[in-house]
Amino acid sequence: MRTNDLRERKLGFGFGLAAYLLWGFLPLYFLTLAPTGPWEIVAMRIFFSLAFCVILIAVTRSWGRLRAIFASPRTVWLTVIAGILIYVNWQVFVLATLTGHIVETSLGYFINPIVTILLGVFVLRERLRPLQWAAIALVAVAVTIIVIGLGSFPWIALALAGSFGLYGLIKKQIGPRVDAVSGLTLESLWLVPIAAAQLIWVGGTVGITFGNISTMHTLLLMFAGIATAVPLLLFAAATRRTTLTVIGILQFITPLMQFATGVWIMGEPMPVERWIGFGVVWMALALFVADSLIAARRGRATEPVVAITP
């Protein structure tokens, strides 16, 4: 491997690592925004993500790339669908984080690769290798153990994995026609009416906290735009420089950090049934990673599941 290629791959690894570490800290960031509720947080995330992206486009003079997207109505509609899916993902994630279900959010991102594999089978008609089938079977066993053992359906985990998997599928359909900043700009733009409606509802019920708590609190809420866009840009830079197999393995840093936050920082309950369920999921992920590495060595790796933004 040439020196320049090796340097690029090292840079890609560093960018990817930074992106997933930042995403891993999101639960703690959202918890610092108390007493702001989940509906106001997501609304602010939408508004300030849009504002931050517009500033980036203005600074880099990338308006042409944004305008080019409107030449394809199909691409525009795909960005609308992507926006709705990422809204569902953001709202469920923040609701779960602020109501003491961080561990279940980590479960959602642990099983996300398996959900995306299933979407590849049923939507894209892809064929699975034996280890991939084994990983899917183990995840099904894990969900069954959690449902029977705890007596509750892990809807948060499955909603996050499902919305994120479908979001990834839509982004795959969009492809390189839409860069990361332009994509987030449009997705945030389409969500502005929803964000406005949420703020009106919050203002008429519990009251809006933005600008009414402290200067630091206001700045932290405004930081939501940066917290959304920066990891995405780092991720995009990583995927251009390193292999998707490396990115596919790095993606597990985020749910591991979320799991640690929920269990050891927030003290969420972890009965035996949940430990067993997570253990089976981790076995499935070990098979997933092993399959990706084996396929990569054989030179016929399929594109692994990669997280884009929680």
Give the confidence band of 239 by pLDDT, cuts at 50, 70, 90.
Answer: confident
Q: What is the pLDDT of residues 153-166, one digit of tens each?
A: 899 999 999 998 89
Quote the CA–CA distance of 38 and 26 in Å, as a whole number: 13
Residues shown for the chain: 310
User: How sure is the predictor about 207, in pLDDT bands with cuts at 50, 70 and 90?
Assistant: very high
Percentage of residues in the chain with pLDDT exceeding 70?
A: 95
Q: Confidence band (pLDDT; 50, 70, 90) for 288?
A: confident
Q: What number is the average pLDDT over the span 252-256? A: 92
Mean pLDDT of 261-288: 92
The string over 212-234, giving b where at least 16 C-beta atoms fall within 10 Å of a residue's C-beta and e elsewhere, is eeeeebeebbbbbbebbbebbbb
Q: How many CB atoms lie within 10 A of CB 132?
A: 24
74's tokens: 């199909």
Residue 2 has pLDDT above 80, yes or no: no
Please tell me the distance from the alpha carbon of residue 242 to that of residue 170, in angstroms, as a whole number. 22
Secondary structure in 3-state letters for the chain = CCHHHHHHHHHHHHHHHHHHHHHHCHHHHHHCCCCCCHHHHHHHHHHHHHHHHHHHHHHHCCHHHHHHHCCCHHHHHHHHHHHHHHHHHHHHHHHHHHCCCHHHHHHHHHHHHHHHHHHHHHCCCCCCCHHHHHHHHHHHHHHHHHHHHHCCCCHHHHHHHHHHHHHHHHHHHHHHHCCHHHHHHHHHHHCHHHHHHHHHHHHHCCCCCCCCCCHHHHHHHHCHHHHHHHHHHHHHHHHHHCCHHHHHHHCCHHHHHHHHHHHHHCCCCCCHHHHHHHHHHHHHHHHHHHHHHHHHHCCCCCCCCCCCCC
Residue with tokens 């600074």: 59
Burial class (CB in 10 A: 0-12, 13-18, 19+), 296: middle
pLDDT above 90: percentage of residues in the chain: 57
Domain boundaries along the sequence of the chain:
3-297
Average pLDDT, the chain: 88
Phi first, then psi: give them for residue 38, nearest 5 degrees. -65, -35
Amino acid identity, residue 56?
A: L
What's the one-letter identity of residue 204?
A: G
What confidence tens digit (pLDDT) does each residue in 42-84 have?
999 999 999 999 999 999 999 999 999 999 999 999 999 999 9
pLDDT given at position 255: 93
Instruction: Reply yes or no on whether the pLDDT at 105 is more than 50.
Output: yes
Whole-number pLDDT of residue 126: 78
Q: How far is CA 11 from the centre of its chain?
A: 22
What pLDDT does residue 301 have?
A: 47
Q: What is the pLDDT confidence band of residue 90, given thresholds at 50, 70 and 90?
A: very high
pLDDT tens digits, residue range 133-184? 888 899 889 888 888 877 778 999 999 999 988 998 898 888 778 888 999 9
Cα dist from 28 to 41, 92, 102, whole Å? 13, 16, 10
Q: Is residue 307's pLDDT more than 70?
A: no
Distances (CA, A) of 222 to 48, 127, 202, 218: 6, 44, 17, 6
pLDDT the model gives residue 304:
52
pTM of the entire structure? 0.90
Identify which has the larger pLDDT, 233 or 213.
213
Q: Give the C-alpha separation, 89 to 310, whole Å.
A: 7
